[in-house]
């Protein structure tokens, strides 16, 4: 596995997306003592199950990739990418789907409205295109199933599909994970 300048890793739940991203971060860190890696985590704990899931992910990740620091970035991913990206620092963004959820389906009144989503997506794609260091982005591919019944859910699935397309176009590599196996969609194997 070689670290690309930028790679979008898509797949379903438990397909191996985050593990691939962690492996790329671990490989990056091992390449040079000057290398660092940070995870920009977008998930938020809105209930006890999600809080436990986040805690488990943090603990497991710390054991697997001890040099990977974590920064929680639920909303302003573009600014975090601009501030943290450096040629000697790999950034892992996990995940686009939760980030979109934070914008389109806010669970509290303190979060911004979905109407600002378009400007956030534009800013993120621009920051990604101009990032001086390597970026690995994890996201879900949810558009392969039955069309959802609700208007809001259909809008979310559509927005995620468009976001995935835009991010894939901005990345040098794109990989689809299935059963822990990578299928290269863009870039060399």
pTM of the model: 0.91
Q: At 167, is the pLDDT very low, low, confident or very high (cuts 50, 70, 90)?
A: very high
Would you call 130 a catalytic residue per the annotation? no
pLDDT at 107: 57
pLDDT at 1: 46
Q: What pLDDT digit, counting tens, does each position of 93-106 carry? A: 999 999 999 888 76
* Catalytic residue (one of 57, 110, 130, 173): 57
CA distances from 54 to 46, 49, 72, 152, 165 (A): 11, 9, 11, 26, 27
Is residue 16 predicted with pLDDT exceeding 50?
yes
Q: At 58, is the pLDDT very low, low, confident or very high (cuts 50, 70, 90)?
A: confident
Domains, the chain, in order of start with CATH, read: 6-186 (3.40.50.300)
């Amino acid at each position: 596995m070689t670290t690309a300048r930028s790679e979008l890793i898509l797949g379903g739940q438990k397909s191996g997306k985050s593990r691939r991203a962690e492996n790329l971060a671990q490989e990056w860190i091992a390449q040079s003592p000057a290398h660092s890696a940070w995870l920009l985590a977008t998930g938020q704990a809105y209930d006890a199950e999600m809080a436990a899931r986040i805690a488990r992910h943090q603990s497991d990740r710390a054991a697997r990739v001890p040099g990977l620091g974590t920064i929680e970035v639920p909303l302003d991913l573009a600014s975090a990418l601009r501030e943290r990206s450096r040629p000697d620092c790999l950034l892992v963004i996990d995940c686009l789907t939760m980030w979109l959820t934070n914008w389109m389906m806010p669970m509290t009144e303190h979060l911004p409205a979905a109407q600002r989503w378009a400007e956030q997506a534009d800013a993120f794609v621009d920051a990604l295109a101009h990032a001086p260091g390597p970026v690995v982005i994890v996201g879900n591919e949810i558009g392969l199933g039955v069309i959802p019944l609700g208007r809001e859910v259909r809008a979310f699935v559509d927005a995620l599909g468009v976001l995935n397309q835009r991010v894939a176009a901005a990345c040098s590599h794109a990989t689809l994970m299935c059963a822990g196996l990578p299928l290269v969609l863009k870039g060399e194997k």
